[in-house]
Chain A
Amino acid sequence: MKIGVFVCHCGENIGRTVNCPEVSKACASFPGVVHSEDYKYMCSDPGQNLIKQAIREKHLDAVVVGSCSPHMHEKTFRKACASAGINSYMVEIANLREHCSWIHEDIAEATKKAIDLMRFAVERVKFNHPLQTIKVPVTKRSLVIGGGISGIQAALDIANAGFEVVLVEKEPSIGGHMSQLSETFPTLDCSQCILTPRMVEVYQHPKIKLLSYSEVENVEGFIGNFKVTIRRKAKSVKEELCTGCGLCAEKCPIKKKALSEFDEGLSNRSAIYVPFPQAVPNVPVIDRSVCTYFKTGKCEMCKKVCGREAIDFTQQDTFVTEDVGSIIVATGYKLYSIEKKPEESIYKGYGEYGYGKYKNVINGLQFERIASASGPTSGEILRPSDKTEPKKIVFIQCVGSRDESKGFSYCSKICCMYTAKHAMLYKHKVHDGEAYVFYMDIRSGGKNYEEFVRRAIEEDHVNYIRGRVSKIYEEDGKLIVKGEDTLAGLPVVIEADLVVLATAMIAQQEAPKLAQTLNISYDKYGYFQEAHPKLRPVETNTGGVFLAGACHSPRDIPESVAMASAAAAKSLVLFGADMLEREPIIAKVDESTCAGCFYCQKVCAYNAIEKKEIRDRQGNLKKVVAFVNSGLCQGCGTCNATCPSKSIELIGFNDDQIFAQINAFAEV
């Protein structure tokens, strides 16, 4: 093997503390090295030409460059070598800058170390093999999990670009939390008015396959080639026959037994129901836990009144599988339920605020329903206990957020804004009412956000009190709110008619389970983890799986929409090519020695090890060996270190290469 060595001075960066000509001279004497030189800037055009020239003239098989960190210019030198005709994986970099010249002062010591590092690289490159990048085909179809505003946006973006989308929603209707909101900040435009057209667009889009009342059960495969199993929960209604006339729900005798999820428990719903009138799809489902028929075998009222014979009590959950190339996770958030918790619960709850004990202590989403024209009070501000108009209302921010002792240390981000909105909506509807807001800090970063909060304070005369509430209790139909005004340094007692708690946004309960299914990571709160907080905010550590919206962290509508479009764009980038290219640093099994113990399978974090049957010509099973799925393998090499018979090697970092470096240590 003919090896060429090139030592870069990096201007003075390396040259100042490392005697580069001496390094080059020393390298020339290493066995196998046929060419060695040093140059001021190896990464520059003339520098690269020196390498190319040497490759051509001396017919080099491999190249070692002593330069900056491989994270910096490995690609540059690989490309240069490839253009001169040697395989780009026959190039090794010795890090003479970050790991040597920049961190040492003594020239003799640094030069000696540089020579050692070069020797390591030269010994290693002797065991390099030409490699080709791996090409995998792409299924140009996307799965979107969650049909809230993020999922809707992502699905529409991808579908409008001409690619098919499967949209999975666990509830009977898409729309998510946004469909529950009354108005949106900072413009106070009606949430449903801007959302429902989008929902209909999803339903009618020829490229979008909407699977409502469904959940992702299993995911197999890898970037560009996922196979997803989806559970379609039994609706007890034949979707293809139902016209959405609503007669069944109207006639259902169960009217008061179930609380409406859509109205956050402030109203009741029937056993057969559509969550709300604008639901998409407008197909009812039967809640079997309350339905009389499923309990006693009698009733069948809905079946009797349905002219289309769409009711089917015998329906079972079914499973469908979909092939997709990318997955967008947009499963959203839920609210921290802050009632007093049992002793064993990990979250303490706020017993002192009396949520769950007093009817007139409600959370933010419940207030949205009360303020919403489609809500249980048709938009009139009436308190739940006696349906009277509250004249004094207290809003408490940061309930569960920014509170390590009873909730979560993070900021839920949207509460400052929606509380200002709530107070405003209240003042617009109850002119003689008084609104108080207890806050810790007002965090109103965002376009027109600060102005919005100022408007609530200055124009709508909402009383902002900086401090926390220690206790709420009910006396004679009034809620006594005890708190502290930290700016005035005084205790505050307010006799309120209604208290609205801005409770923390938290991750969905099933998020960790879904993360395991998708093989993505999640943080200690259950929020999904991005691949890089700055530069890869919508990607996950698993290729082809992207994040959108509040399943990643608390965020408002515009941010969720932006993130959804970003995730869609990332999917479309994937679909831009027919084949995916990736580094060939993956594990490979030597089938002749593999004993089939599958220790490698146990340690693989990517489920990349499969079982492969070896058969003779007659088709008799000879043995079962490990097989690496090159699409899934990410190249960590844990299997290589684990294999008892050394039958699996990590290409590019195999034992020979590393032992060569270790053996070179003898001459240090």
Chain B
Amino acid sequence: MKLGYYPGCSLNGTAKEFNSSLKEVFSTLDIDLEELNDWSCCGATSAHVTSHLLSVALPARNLMLAKKQGFEDLLAPCAACYSRLVSSQRELKLDEKMRMEVEDILEEKITNGLHIINLIQIFQKIGLDKLKEKKLVDISKIKAACYYGCLLVRPVDIALPDDMESPDSMESIIKAVGGKTVDWNFKTECCGAAHSIAHTDIVEKLCKGIIDNAEKHGADVIIVACPMCHSNLDMRQLNIMKHFEGHKPIPILYLSQLIGLVLGIDEKKLGLGAHYINTKPLLDKIKGADIPKSVPIEKLQKGVEA
């Protein structure tokens, strides 16, 4: 399977471990990720508040690159990139005037037919059976709270085909590889996303609500599929601990990192040491389960002193 890969800016910056974990997982699954050559910004957060045309044209450029480079499927692991790419694709399909304007800017004819897929969809596409087959490590000792945030499931008719109010596609992936999930109430609550820099107080309050609810329902870890969600929940927890007395930190993992653990990939390669919240206790808890001999237990412990 030749799979186009659009990492976007986050995966080269704040979410490097998302990038590395993904690449590890896919190489274990024998899937070639081919990075889109000469990709550019998707325009997320800033473009669509400045110029609507720009917000359509920026993703359009990348869509056309993918077409030209012969990809049928383009993986956009970042939820914001994914959202921008599918929104733009849809608008170009439905709005002829917009399409002509963008064609004018790009100086080329726009053609359709590219499948843009996000992290959840790629696992669904690979097949839950295949993941099960490759499973090496048992993660049934921990309970995960799956957090979708805003962009994975909204807007309803273009994003992930799931119930936008109470989605469960991430849960089904984790359950398929033998994990346990909790039924909690803040799956799609706002994490403060774009206020991350300007209004950290708001972000902290919102993230606190999310984390508390996950813990209340017995979660050991929150699983995300969006770099923005991750940075807000993980990084801001340090300040939350300062501002809210008695806050119990909880590790935040990318779905790709958790799948990586299941596949027996070295946690260093998965970037588990790069988080603000220590992931060691979580790994210890996993370790409590039976681990096949092929993966040395010591390996799991190395390099997690965050």
Contacts and interface: CB of A to CB of B under 8 A. Distances in A.
A352 B216 CA distance: 19
Contacts of A474: 185
A471 B161 contact: no
Interface of A: 340, 343, 348, 350-352, 405, 471, 473-475, 480
The winner among B161, B165, B185 for most chain A CB atoms within 10 A is B165
Nearest to A341: B163
A350 B165 contact: yes
Interface in B206-238: 213, 216
A405 B163 CA distance: 12
Contact of B163 (A340, A471, A473): A340
A465 B166 CA distance: 25
Given A351-B166, A473-B185, A475-B185, A343 B161 contact: yes
Contacts of B156: 405
Contacts of A343: 161
A475 B186 CA distance: 11
A340 B216 contact: no
Contacts of B166: 340, 351-352
A475 B184 CA distance: 10
Contacts of A480: 185
Nearest to B189: A471
Given A405-B156, A475-B216, A351 B185 contact: no
Interface in B182-205: 185
Given A405-B156, A473-B185, A475-B185, A351 B216 contact: no
A348 B166 CA distance: 12
Contacts of B216: 475
B216 to A, nearest CB: 7
Nearest to B217: A475
A344 to B, nearest CB: 11
A480 B156 CA distance: 24
B165 A352 contact: yes
Contacts of A352: 165-166
A343 B185 CA distance: 21
Contacts of A473: 185
Nearest to A348: B163
Given A348-B163, A352-B166, 6 more contacts: A340-B166, A351-B165, A352-B165, A405-B156, A474-B185, A475-B185
A343 B156 CA distance: 13
18 contacts: A340-B163, A340-B166, A343-B161, A348-B163, A350-B165, A351-B163, A351-B165, A351-B166, A352-B165, A352-B166, A405-B156, A471-B165, A473-B185, A474-B185, A475-B185, A475-B213, A475-B216, A480-B185
A573 B156 CA distance: 53
A349 to B, nearest CB: 8
Nearest to A343: B161
Contacts of B213: 475
Contacts of A340: 163, 166
Nearest to A349: B163
A473 B217 CA distance: 12
Interface in B36-88: none
**Most chain B beta-carbon contacts within 10 A, residue among A350, A351, A405, A480:** A351
Interface string B151-190: 0000010000101011000000000000000000100000
Contacts of A351: 163, 165-166
A260 to B, nearest CB: 29
A350 B166 CA distance: 9
Question: What are the 5 closest A-B residue pairs judged by CB atoms, nearest first?
Answer: A352-B165, A473-B185, A351-B166, A351-B165, A351-B163
Contacts of A471: 165
A32 to B, nearest CB: 59
Contacts of B165: 350-352, 471
Nearest to A354: B166
Contacts of B185: 473-475, 480
Contacts of B163: 340, 348, 351
Nearest to B165: A352
Contacts of A350: 165
B205 to A, nearest CB: 13
A474 B184 CA distance: 9
A347 to B, nearest CB: 13
A391 B161 CA distance: 39
Nearest to A342: B163
Interface in B60-119: none
A475 B213 CA distance: 9
A209 to B, nearest CB: 49
A351 B161 CA distance: 15
A633 B216 CA distance: 70
Nearest to B162: A343
A653 B151 CA distance: 63
A350 B164 CA distance: 10
A352 B161 CA distance: 16
A668 B13 CA distance: 81
A352 B165 CA distance: 5
